[in-house]
């Protein structure tokens, strides 16, 4: 290969595996050997000595994909970087790799929008971007006529599914994303499995779409508008236009600092704002070159985020000096993908384990998020897990917690039958600690209107000492919480209730706590195959078969029926359908304390 290609490839690898090339067992990839003669790991050349394939799967690559350098190899047809830890956006430069037929990027940590330029790769046959964090809408992939496989499951993509030539496609999967609207005609080639896990998607092979409301047709009676009415109407239109122009003018002026950037600046500012681009990636160096000024990355971030450093480290001394770059480059493992984003376990050097919650909700303003996180941080409570750091930009919000090794309440209750015994005394202690902590947080954050917003047994974690801790306090439903502060009558739908009931933010937490009490008492799942725990408990109690609701393990342990019934009464008050009459968390906490006291004195006095 030519020297220019060799140099570009060496640079590509340096970005992909910064400082780690040899440690990853990758041979070659240096200027002293040729990619096609020197046996570079993962490089396949043709007889003419041009690089045709680069296959670096499971190679522990943690850097970024420098498409600009990669695509200097004009003849590249296959790029496979499956199963690594590559972060960052996929740059528009990927379109320079014109010959590319196979693009495999699955099982990495790519994020951000897919580049629009992907649709210019007209030779593409197979694309696999599954199991990443790509979001935004798909580019115009219907332009790629020879596409036979498109796999994008387990991302956070949205918008409508493009009308591809499904009869040509051999593989297609977009499950577990946020796509919406009707599915185009797949001509019977694909089953529901290709589309599941997109709550707003409808049509064959999923369930039918709701009927489109009929257009409102004016009745025959309607008369022609009089010229007077027309005059009034046009007056309103002109007034409306003036208001719109004024608002646009104001917005334009307010955004002026961003407008100063040239050409791709807006686009790159977004890229910069994204955490994965804060290290010196192609995008950032390009930006500097393109802008033709001396703006440092830090100052650009400051423009974007209002003088707040990229990673705001809040509490833990373990994290002193941790940079955003280190956090992104550390090896990570996906722990879960919830409704609100993905959660990763990140292993830092020195054995510190963190979890990073990548929240997918661009609707929350950055300022609001920052203020909220700082306010929550000021309230210290032993049984509430504090965030140790956060990152916040227009595009992305990350929250960092210390990793808790002892699982969560959900697992303890519903894990395998052989899992630890969870006796009545321990359940009562968990109920007491959580109620007390929640009551405290509600009191402290009442004026700010910050409730938990997403309380569930999976968010009750056990720390090293097996004490229960509430995780993710105040992170979710932020917009709704704010609305409820502005208008106390505004009620939100509680995540746990999932029944169309509306609850104010704090009442929502009380309800959710009631459901946790029911889980502790019954050992049953909140919802499974149409089973709804609160309704079931209510109906059994109404029939006066109360004892039937309790977990068999508690009955056979000989737990006091009287105190279980008392705790059940508390739970029923919490899940009462009339939210205005429901108790506050402080009241709930007091009730549980008195049950606990009775329990303790019975242990002391019972023979």
Ligand X SMILES: Nc1ncnc2c1ncn2[C@@H]1O[C@H](COP(=O)(O)OP(=O)(O)OP(=O)(O)O)[C@@H](O)[C@H]1O
In three-state secondary structure terms, 210 is: coil
Minimum CB distance to ligand X, residue 22 (Å): 33
Closest to ligand X by CB, 438 or 567: 438
- Quick one: which H or E segment has residue 110? none
Q: How many residues does the chain have?
A: 607
**79: β partners:** 54, 103
Minimum CB distance to ligand X, residue 402 (Å): 6
Minimum CB distance to ligand X, residue 397 (Å): 12
Minimum CB distance to ligand X, residue 563 (Å): 28
In three-state secondary structure terms, 485 is: helix
Cβ proximity of 570 and 410 under 8 Å: no
C-alpha 97/C-alpha 118 separation (Å) is 10
C-alpha 492/C-alpha 31 separation (Å) is 61
Angle of the 505-522 helix axis to the 585-605 helix axis, nearest 10: 30
**Of the candidates 356, 368, 430, which has an alpha carbon nearest to the alpha carbon of residue 394?**
368
Closest to ligand X by CB, 44 or 458: 458
Minimum CB distance to ligand X, residue 480 (Å): 14
Closest to ligand X by CB, 305 or 454: 454
Cβ proximity of 105 and 128 under 8 Å: yes
- Cα dihedral 489, 492, 493, 497 sign: negative
C-alpha 142/C-alpha 391 separation (Å) is 36
Minimum CB distance to ligand X, residue 104 (Å): 26
Cα separation values, 90 from 68, 86, 115, 178, 552, Å: 11, 10, 7, 20, 53
User: By beta-carbon distance, which residue lies closest to ligand X?
Assistant: 338
In the complex, the residues that contact ligand X under the rule CB under 6 A are 335-336, 338-341, 343, 355, 401, 403-404, 408, 454, 458-459, 461, 471
Closest to ligand X by CB, 341 or 474: 341
For residue 58, give every residue at least 6 positions away whose Cβ sits within 8 Å of its Cβ, in sequence order, or none.
82, 83, 84
Minimum CB distance to ligand X, residue 524 (Å): 18
Q: What angle do CA 142, 337, 203 make, to 5 degrees?
A: 45
Closest to ligand X by CB, 6 or 340: 340
- Quick one: which H or E segment has residue 542? helix 533-542
Minimum CB distance to ligand X, residue 26 (Å): 32
Closest to ligand X by CB, 278 or 343: 343
Closest to ligand X by CB, 404 or 584: 404
Closest to ligand X by CB, 9 or 343: 343
Minimum CB distance to ligand X, residue 112 (Å): 19
Q: Is the peptide bond before 605 cis (omega within 30 degrees of 0)?
A: no
Backbone angles phi, psi at 267, to 5 degrees: -60, -45
Closest to ligand X by CB, 393 or 408: 408
Q: How many CA atoms lie within 13 A of 90 on its CB side?
A: 28
Minimum CB distance to ligand X, residue 58 (Å): 24
Which structure tokens are listed for 79? 């790029």
Backbone angles phi, psi at 178, to 5 degrees: -125, 35
**Distance from the Cα of residue 527 to its chain's centroid:** 22
Residue 357 annotated as binding? yes
C-alpha 252/C-alpha 583 separation (Å) is 48
Closest to ligand X by CB, 115 or 341: 341
Question: Annotated binding site, which residues?
Answer: 357
Question: Annotated binding site for ATP, which residues?
Answer: 357
């Amino acid at each position: 290969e030519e020297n220019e290609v060799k140099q570009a490839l060496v640079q590509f690898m340096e970005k992909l595996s910064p400082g780690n090339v040899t440690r990853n067992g990758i041979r070659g990839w240096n200027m002293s050997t040729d990619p096609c003669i020197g046996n570079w790991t993962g490089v396949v050349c043709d007889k003419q000595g041009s690089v045709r394939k680069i296959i670096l799967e499971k190679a522990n690559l943690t850097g970024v994909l420098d498409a600009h350098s990669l695509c200097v190899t004009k003849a590249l047809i296959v790029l496979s970087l499956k199963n690594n830890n590559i972060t960052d956006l996929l740059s528009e430069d990927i379109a320079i790799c014109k010959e590319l037929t196979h693009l495999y990027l699955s099982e990495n940590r790519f994020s951000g929008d897919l580049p629009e330029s992907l649709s210019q790769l007209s030779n593409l046959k197979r694309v696999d971007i599954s199991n990443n964090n790509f979001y935004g809408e798909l580019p115009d992939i219907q332009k790629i006529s020879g596409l036979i496989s498109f796999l994008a499951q387990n991302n956070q993509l949205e918008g409508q599914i493009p009308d591809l030539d499904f009869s040509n496609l051999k593989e297609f999967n977009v499950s577990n994303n946020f796509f919406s609207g009707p599915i185009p005609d797949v001509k019977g080639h694909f089953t529901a499995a290709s589309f599941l896990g997109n709550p707003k998607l409808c049509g064959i092979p999923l369930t039918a779409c709701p009927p489109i409301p009929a257009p409102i047709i004016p009745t025959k009676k309607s008369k022609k508008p009089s010229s007077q009415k027309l005059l009034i109407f046009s007056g309103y239109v002109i007034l409306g236009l003036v208001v719109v122009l004024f608002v646009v003018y104001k917005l334009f002026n307010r955004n002026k600092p961003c407008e100063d950037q040239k050409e791709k600046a807006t686009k790159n500012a977004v890229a910069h704002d994204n955490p994965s681009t804060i290290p010196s990636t192609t995008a950032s160096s390009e930006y500097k070159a393109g802008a033709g000024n001396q703006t440092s990355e830090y100052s650009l971030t400051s423009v974007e985020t209002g003088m707040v450093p990229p990673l705001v480290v809040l509490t833990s001394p373990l994290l002193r000096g941790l940079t955003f770059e280190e956090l992104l480059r550390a090896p990570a493992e996906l722990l879960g993908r919830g409704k609100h984003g993905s959660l990763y376990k990140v292993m830092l050097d020195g054995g510190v384990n963190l979890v990073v919650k990548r929240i997918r909700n661009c609707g929350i303003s950055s300022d609001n998020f920052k203020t909220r996180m700082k306010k929550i941080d000021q309230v210290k409570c032993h049984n509430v897990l504090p965030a140790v750091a956060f990152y916040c930009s227009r595009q992305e919000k990350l929250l960092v917690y210390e990793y808790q090794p002892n699982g969560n309440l959900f697992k303890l209750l519903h894990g395998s039958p052989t899992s630890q015994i969870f006796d009545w005394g321990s359940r009562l202690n968990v109920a007491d600690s959580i109620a007390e902590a929640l009551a405290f947080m509600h009191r402290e954050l009442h004026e700010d209107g910050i409730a938990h917003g997403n309380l569930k047994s999976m968010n009750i974690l056990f720390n090293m000492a097996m004490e229960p801790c509430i995780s993710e306090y105040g992170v979710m439903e932020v917009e709704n919480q704010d609305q409820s502060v502005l208008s106390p009558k505004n009620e939100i739908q509680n995540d746990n209730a999932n029944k169309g009931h509306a609850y104010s933010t704090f009442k929502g937490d009380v309800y959710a706590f009631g459901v946790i009490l029911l889980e502790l008492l019954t050992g049953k799942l909140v919802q499974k195959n149409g089973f709804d725990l609160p309704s079931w408990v209510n109906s059994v109690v109404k029939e006066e078969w109360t004892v039937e609701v309790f977990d068999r393990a508690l009955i056979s342990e000989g737990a006091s029926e009287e105190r279980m019934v008392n705790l059940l009464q508390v739970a029923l008050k919490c899940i009462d359908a009339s939210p205005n009459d429901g108790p506050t968390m402080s009241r709930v906490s007091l009730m549980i304390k008195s049950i606990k006291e009775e329990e303790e004195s019975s242990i002391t006095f019972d023979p």
